[in-house]
Structure 1
Amino acid sequence: MIVHLATLLAFQLLGETISRGLGLIVPGPVIGMVLLLGFFIASPRAAAAIQPTALGLLSHLSLLFVPAGVGIVGHLDQLGADGVPILLALLGSTALAIAVGALVFVGLSRLTGGAT
């Protein structure tokens, strides 16, 4: 399991190194995931070996949201003072993102000749 975690972290480090070294706008972990995907395609045995460790990490993914919850509790006074504008911004940006996503889908579907 330690070797598998080290492999995952090594690909993340490699992605960070490439991203920062070349000054790319793509985040390092994304580059690392693409490289890891290529590694898994080239070596299916490695993918099968790392799968249990990856599933274990995914099953505890909710622990990563603890810092966000602590941040919210730490700024409750700010949330109380600006709660309505924050809520409106969240609702508006969510609706806008859904609308833009739908419009892009429809546009690409028409462009490629697919059914809408």
Structure 2
Amino acid sequence: MITIYHNPRCSKSRAACTWISESHADEPTEIVEYLKRPLTVSQLKALRELLDVPLREMVRTGETEYADLGLGAAGVTDEAIYEAIARHPSLLQRPIVVRDGRAVIGRPTENIAALFE
């Protein structure tokens, strides 16, 4: 099963969906439009574990909410960041692709190929 955390307005996210549908059409794929169905804090924590990256790599620092919430300030806890992403899903990096218990951030799109090696 392949799961794509997808934002249809994002060209990289659309490219990930296209790459997977063209190269791995035989595998079941779930597309999660996380802006419509935001992830919970527990789901975000599980996703971070699969990504095996520091939490801040999951965050889009260029989003208005990032600055408005002061998420770049020293001393901001991981819990505060998880809560912020859960409340403001646009802060989540995109796309994120999960397969066989592993995950990657699909920026650049070539990162996704590592899940199929």
TM-score range, shorter chain: under 0.3
**TM value normalised by structure 2:** 0.22
* Higher fraction of strand: 2
| Greater C-alpha Rg | 1
* Higher fraction of helix: 1
- Compare relative contact order (CA 8 Å, sep 6+) and give the higher one, 1 or 2: 2
